[in-house]
Structure 1
Amino acid sequence: MGPLPNLNKVNHSLPLTEVFFDSSPARTFDLGLLILKELIVQLLIFHIFSWIVALGIRYYIVQPRSWHTVGTQVHPTEQGLRVLIQLVIQSSEEGLLYTQNLASTYGDVCCWWVGPWHAVIRIFHPTCIKPVLFAPAAIAPKDAVFYSFLKPWLGDGLLLSAGDKWSSHRRMLTPAFHFNILKHYVKIFNDSVNVMHAKWKRLVSEGSTRLDMFEHISLMTLDSLQKCVFSFHSNCQEKPSEYIAAILELSALVAKRHQQIFMHMDFLYYLTPDGQRFRRACRLVHNFTDAVIQERRRTLPDDGVDDFLKAKAKAKTLDFIDVLLLTKDKDGKQLSDEDIRAEADTFMFGGHDTTASGLSWVLYNLAKHPEYQERCRQEVQELLRDREPKEIE
């Protein structure tokens, strides 16, 4: 790409059309790039100006007033409804302290502004949040901001879909959670945990006394999921896996984007290095899932599906993709490849992130409280009675 034209050195005796409309591809590209940069700057100025105006109106003109949250009878005071301006989302430790201060200062409910345009109702009391948590999944409200960042990756799976599509897919996926299918996964879980334990023993023998619990458990859950969803053995706990690295990168990029208010705008985000990394990682993950789906479709029989399922069940090799490929709705319609990919990618994300977080905190607290650790160990030993925990009985 050639340098941008220096207008101070342009021969002003030339017609403007010759100066600005050089027919060479390099000059045309430079001019287009210059216009694009100017457009981005103007849009940023417009958004910043709108932000300042909105903040001013909200701070000096709009007065708090009494109201109640939908589904509750809680009426916050005027102080409790004071508009809070938090320009950045803080890190985990600071964020927890900030949330505790909100609850102690403003009571059960407050309005928390992310920038000038997005209001978040923060609910701290269990009575207030109960109607939301107990709402039927088909009508429960879903995050319109954070979930939109996941959409290019996870598509319209169970996590992000709503209404009739959610209800239909939920019914179609019910067979995937049948006890006879899930019980065969226990051996897979145990094998993955044994690999993780072996790594920990090696670290201890080498003199290590600390480890990043979340990192190790994330790899263990992803290892288990790949086996249960795709019947794919990546050995990601012991060697690098491009697919697993892409999933971890996507999770980190989405969390990072959520903390940067200007990156909430799609057109701006995808111009950044992070946005380009996100797209590359999405392509890699989608290509992997699509390849598994296409390969599995080729192995499915045109008829005799019942015999196929019995053979799979007997061999204990029926996985999530098999169930998705064979399931049908009440009208006999199967899931499309795009729907199957969305559900598989959703379970790879949802099955490792929150699960790893929960397991990490459980193990951390058991390590901090040896008396409870011992009680848990005794309970497990009483249940197993020296048997190998390969299957649930």
Structure 2
Amino acid sequence: MTINNYCANLLLAETGCVTLKKRCMDFLDILLTAKDEDGKGLTFSEVRDEVDTFLFEGHDTTASALAWTVYSLAGHPEYQKKCQMEIDEILNGRETDEITWDDLPKLTYLTQCLKEAMRLHCPVPFISRLLTKEMTIDGKTLPKNSIVDIQLYNMHHNPQIWKNNMVYDPSRFDPDKIENMDSFAFVPFSAGPRNCIGQNFAMHEMKTILARIFRMFDVSLDPNYKVEKRVAIVMKTSNGIRVNLSKRSH
């Protein structure tokens, strides 16, 4: 698959099809034809930067979130079993185990488990912002052009919001609980006008992969192997994650 087609698939998964001259515009078409209010388009470097962002941010962060979710469910077989029951109910009786677009909204408990893993292990531990104007926070004034680090990991472990914040508990994301949750209490994809453009695609991608894994396998941790976090731009481990896979029978 070419980069052009790959990026088009990402974009169309996010925004749907945009029609131009009776054909479907892909990601690069939109970048190359985009104009600002003065009619000026993007430079080659700006187009390349946008493509790099889609390709890079679309694999490292999702790989981290997937790894930590598998790790979390491997260590909590009771939650893993509930996920498998949900997946089995959707797929049983079918000729194949392929996950369809219509299946994704039905994976509600799996989604809770995925979100709790992203809260507890936070694939993107922090983000930075450049202040375009002076800002006062808690009585302290920060001058224009200051670089501010926002610690998402700390936000996701705030004991005033997340009780027993170091415990993996997917019930935190029960529908009745998230209704009353502050919109900035859980922001794995950032928030506001500069949030992750690919967050919906990432969630669909991760739910599909997780459903395929737990449909096929029972996953357990290696009891003799200790996993240690390594905080970086993307949350990683110092020594990897080891799990045991056992083929399931249906």
TM-score, normalised with respect to structure 1: 0.25
Structure 1 or 2: more helix by fraction? 1
Structure 1 or 2: more strand by fraction? 2
Q: Rg bigger for which structure?
A: 1
TM-score, normalised with respect to structure 2: 0.35
